[in-house]
Each structure stands twice: as structure tokens, then as C-alpha cells.
Amino acid sequence: VTTIAEVAERASVGVATVSRVLNGSPAVSDATRRRVLDAIDELGYERNATARALSTGRTAMLGVVAPFLAQPSVVARLLGVSRVLAGSEYQLILFDVEQPKPITELLGGAQVDGLLCISLLPSEADLERLARRQVPVVLVDGEHDGLPGISIDDEEGGRIATRHLVELGHRRIGFLGDHELTVFGFTSSRLRRAGATEVCAAAGAELICRQVRHGREPARVIAREMLSAEDRPTAVFAASDQQALGVLEAAEDLGLSVPDDLSVVGFDDIEVARYAGLTTVSQPLERSGADGAQLLLRCLEGAAQETVRLHLDLVVRATTAPPTTT
Amino acid sequence: VTTIAEVAERASVGVATVSRVLNGSPAVSDATRRRVLDAIDELGYERNATARALSTGRTAMLGVVAPFLAQPSVVARLLGVSRVLAGSEYQLILFDVEQPKPITELLGGAQVDGLLCISLLPSEADLERLARRQVPVVLVDGEHDGLPGISIDDEEGGRIATRHLVELGHRRIGFLGDHELTVFGFTSSRLRRAGATEVCAAAGAELICRQVRHGREPARVIAREMLSAEDRPTAVFAASDQQALGVLEAAEDLGLSVPDDLSVVGFDDIEVARYAGLTTVSQPLERSGADGAQLLLRCLEGAAQETVRLHLDLVVRATTAPPTTT
DNA sequence: TTGAAAGCGCTAACAC
DNA sequence: GTGTTAGCGCTTTCAA
């Protein structure tokens, strides 16, 4: 409501001078600066970010695209992003993806100086349009050709989980992962399965694969089916903790005791995992968001673009044990 | 990079006509509209939201201020907000509050058409400045004089939880709530305690109160102390599930078995509560966010401002039982 | 060190 | 129906 012009008038200077003061330009005499500052104070002036953005071509906003609600792991990542951005000059605009949909469409005309994609992969078309808009893109929990990003070695993660089961003595292992089609071109589930397949093959173990929509409930349904079979697996590796929780519920439904009748390994190590006593492959979730944000910030400064892979750990809790030889 | 002027030139029309097409004005002949649309297509034009915002005075962005990371309950609420906003023309800008700090400062010059405050109360000064900017404010999980919002009856919630304990036979009850100073002028913890106090008084039960910084770990520390006392309470009512979880951990630390040696009631019914088998007072978290967003949307349309109170439920799980008379 | 003025890309009167 | 033009509030040359 108060504009720079009113401040200028009150301080008896030109608008350019006010702008200089606002932007901390050294080319203003102390006396003038004082007058301007006083005028700003008296008028309760606050600079209009929109006008500034139009003029400079920078909005000081970073977009974060993520399937926010689908997975708790995304929340943890977002937390890292938020913490880093809080210490920067950028604001965070959240674009929640509920279903696969062109990112650019979702963005609408929204002007952002940079974009962070969490747990989803932009399509080639999206990338092209983003490039035309000169918006740098950083991936968190995803990899793509030329794009900088933070990720993990999903295949290795699959190996870690499966190796654990194999070493415990399991030879008939179930795998529960995302249904490829529903997950935004997201390949981690597939890679984790590849890792599992590799280890099973080497150990002469059988891997029974099922794909399902993400989330606990769908996993529960499929797991119930998988565990009802005559030759049910003695252990299940779920591609996410959420799905692992679904498996645990299914086990309970069927009266199977964990880990005696069934071992379960998850992936992510989200907070609930601890409460459920779930054995899982742990990845630094919050860290990934923080690092991703930092990376984007550096891209914005024109720095070189890198891709970082974070470390994975097996966390053994109470849902895995050797199979009972019935 | 492409502007409305280029589109206009290509379609051999004036910029106003392009603008009309862009905004779906009916006052454009079909033939012209076609030409414009084609030009837009060929040029891959996308309208610049910043310029539009500057011109119209509306940014199509809604701010959400929340102590996002502090509490899982806030995440659930945010989820409701996000879902509603996804169906609107507005984008969501997230302002994460890590520590008490003037909201307007946090907002910076960021232009938002409306503001949703989740689980925190803006100061009078903030409210004034927001009003001067003509930004409508809606509260989610909070109440304030003239402001519309979605809330619950915290005092009644305190009564519900405590009544449950009293009815089970507990006569020495601990209360663990937020430290008033740390929570953004947030009064729910205080009100919940008031409800608890009332019920205890009526039942002739003793209420031992402790205040603590929010979060699980601080609660654990204080609870450990509270439960180490000679005359320790036989039940604890925590003002949030997070804190209740801390109490459960403290009990485990001390070798107290729940619910035999100690009953625990939480508040919120966040997702983990279910896994921890925590008895708690359940409030519709996601719903509160959704309703709040809807309310804000209506305010933006100039509709009357209301305040809604959501329903509370006691969810009895495995952490409460009658006290064992040792 | 300071001010005047020309945009930034769009919308909305106002004329034709 | 359509075009012209004056802003929206700020930044940033360019002169002084």
C-alpha cells in the first residue's frame, strides 16, 4: 500500500535512491540513508516482492515438486529442504503431486528461480520446457542424465536387504514393490528388485515378485494373498517401509507371527519403522533434502552441477530372524 | 521468454486481444481466438505469473505458516490444506516456523493473497500488519478474537482424556504439556491442562503437572524424572502424542510396564499412535487443514467468516488400564 | 552521490 | 470485437 515513491517523497529523494538503500548499495551518503530509513520506518513501508520480481526477473522462490502425501519419506526429505531454505533468501513453493501429470502443467505459470523434484522424475517434455524457462532443476531421490541430484544406489539397497535375508537362511523370498505405472517414472522400486534378484540368483534362492500401488493398504491386500499361498515365502522384502507395514498387518491378519513365521525387511527407515520394530534399509532422508536444496542453491549461483549418492545402512530390528524349519 | 506482444504480432492482433483470450473473455470472435491460440501454440508461449500479479494485484498464492517440522500433527493438517488447494487456482507457499518469530518478518515482502496459520497464533502486531496489507488470515488449530478458523475444544479434550483415566480408577495422575513460552502463543496445552484439572478436582484425584519443550525427547527426560519419584503417578496424560511417546520411552527406561504399572494417554491421534498402541484423544487432523483451506478460499471470495470446532473422540488402545493396587 | 526515465509483461479502461 | 495506452511498483542505466 505504501510505495517506494511515497517513501522517496517523504525523504525528499528520488526513487532510485530509496531503491539503493533498500538494496544496500554503498553509493548512498550516510545522511541520505538515514533520512530514507526514517521515512521507511515512519510509513511502515514494505517492498513489494512482485514488482521487484518483475523488474529483476528473479522471484526468490524455489519450487518443490513432490508426491508429498503419498510417502512419509517425502515429508522427511522436505524437512531437510525447508531447513536449508530457511537460511537462504528463498521462499519455498510446494507443488504437491497426487497423480502423474506434467510438472509444467502443475507449475502453471508460476515463476520459480529453481526447482527441486523429490521422489519423481520429470518427463523429457517437462525438462525441455523448464530448460527454455532457464529454470535449473535438481533431483532428490532420483537420477537423470544431465541433471544434478542427490540419490542412493537403489540396486545396492536391494542387495543389502536381500543379502540379510539370505544370510539368515531364507530361500523363498517375497518382493513387494511399486506398480511401475503409478509412480511418476520413478525407478527405485525396480532397481531395488533388480538388486534382490541378483542376490537371490547368486544364493540359489527364489524371489516371488508382486507389484502394487504404493501405500500401506494396497500392500496389505497383496501381501495377504501372497502369504496365503501354500508355498508362501518365509521372508518378504518390501520396497518401502510403508509397504512393509502393510505386510506386517497382513501377517497379523493371517495369524502369522513375525519374525518366527515370517521375516520382513523394509526400505527408507521412516520414523514409524522404529516403532514397528521394523528391520529396514536406512537412508538419510532429511539429509537428502538438505543436500538437494544446497545443490540447487549452488546451481543458482552458477556453480558446477554434481550428482551425489548417499550412504545406505541396514538397520536390524525385530522383524527378521532365521526361518523356522517346520 | 515469449511475451504477449510477440503472440499478438504473430496473430496480427493487439495485446489486449491476446490477454482476452488468455483470460477467457467471451468478447473475442471465434476466428480471432483461433488465430491467437495457434500463435500461442506455435510460440510455446506461457503467461508470466509475476507480471500478471503485479497488474492485477493478486498473486494466486496462499501462504501457510506452520511449525512444520516440530509436530507430525502439523504435517497431517498440511496434507488437508494441500489437497484442497490442489483443486483451486491457488498455489501454496510454505513458511516453516522453527522458532517464535514475527510472522510478517518471516513472510518478508512475499506477496500472498491469504494466509493460513497452523498451530500457532500470530501476534497482535503481525495481525495489524497483515490487515494493512489486506491479507485475510485463517487459523487452523487456534482461536483468536475476530479471526475465522478451525479448532477444537481443547479444554473438553483435556476432560475426555482425564475422565478416562479417572474412570479407570486412577487417583494420582501426571500431566505433561508444552512449556508455554516455547510455543508461539499457542494455548492448547494450557487448555488441555485446565480440562484435566477440572476433572481431577471433581473426582478428588491429584494432578501432577510438568511442562516441557515439545517433542519426544524432552518429554522422555521429564517423564523419567516424574516417574522416578517415590509417589509417582499411576497414569500420565500427555498434551500431545509426541510427548506421550516420550513418556512411553521413559517407562521402558525405568522398567515400568504399560499399562500395568502405568497408563498413558496422548492427544491428536497421529499416525504413529496407532503403531504404538497409544490410547489418545483423536481429532480430525487432515480435515482441519482441508476445512481451514476451504474457509480461506471463501474469505477470499468475500464470504462471511466463521469459526468451526471439530469433534473429538477418545480412542482407547493398549496403553491404559486400571491401576494395579500394589 | 543523486535523480529522471525507461522498461519488466501483463491487465483494464477507454475509444473506435 | 478489437486496438491503444496507461499503469502495477520496482530496478537500473544514463546523465548530471
Walk along chain A (326 residues) and give the pLDDT tens digit of each residue.
899 999 999 999 999 999 999 999 999 999 999 999 999 999 999 999 999 999 999 999 999 999 887 688 999 999 999 999 999 999 999 998 887 788 888 887 778 999 999 998 888 888 988 988 889 999 999 999 889 999 999 999 999 999 999 999 999 999 999 887 655 667 789 999 999 999 999 999 999 999 998 888 999 999 999 999 999 999 999 999 999 999 999 999 999 999 999 999 999 999 889 888 999 999 999 999 999 999 999 999 988 788 999 999 999 999 999 999 76
Q: Which residues of chain B have pLDDT under 70?
A: 70, 181-185, 326
Please, what's the b/e burial string for B251-285 (b: 16 or more CB within 10 A of its CB; e: otherwise)?
A: beeeebebbebbbbbbbbbbbbbebbebbbbbbbb
Residue nearest D13 (alpha carbon to C1'): A16
Interface of A with B in 215-274 (CB under 8 A): 245, 271-272
- Residues of chain A found within 8 Å of residue B111, distances taken between Cβ atoms: 48-50
Whole-number distance in Å between A136 CA and D2 C1':
39
- Give me the pLDDT at residue B101, please: 80
CA-based nearest residue in chain A for residue B62 = A93
pTM for the full model?
Answer: 0.91
Beta strands in chain A (DSSP E): 61-66, 91-96, 114-118, 137-140, 149-151, 172-178, 206-212, 235-238, 263-268, 279-282, 307-309, 313-315
Instruction: State which nucleotides on strand C lie below 7 Å from a protein beta carbon.
Output: 1-5, 7-13
Q: Quick check: A307 contacting B, CB < 8 Å?
A: no
B58: CB within 7 A of chain C nucleic strand: no
**Which of B2, B47, B50 to probe by mutation at the A interface, max A CB count within 10 Å?**
B50
Q: Report the helix count and the strand count for chain A, using DSSP H and E.
A: 13, 12
Buried (b) or exposed (e) across A102-123, using 16+ Cβ within 10 A? ebbebbebbbbbbbbbbbbbbe
Distance (Å) from the alpha carbon of A200 to chain B's nearest alpha carbon = 31
* Chain B residues in contact with A290 (beta carbon < 8 A): none
Q: Does A99 touch chain B (CB under 8 A)?
A: no
B-chain residues near A61 (CB < 8 A) = 93
Q: How far is CA B66 from CA A5, A82, A242, A270, B76, in A?
A: 34, 12, 25, 22, 12
CB atoms within 10 A of CB B64: 28
Res B65: pLDDT: 94
Give the pLDDT confidence score for residue A157 in this predicted structure. 98
pLDDT of residue A23: 95
pLDDT of residue A103: 84
Residue B39, pLDDT score: 96
Q: What is the pLDDT of residue A185?
A: 66
| CA B258 to chain CA mean position, Å | 30
Query: CB of A48 within 8 Å of any CB in chain B?
Result: yes
Q: What pLDDT is recorded for position A115?
A: 96
Half-sphere CA count of A322, side-chain side, radius 13 A: 6
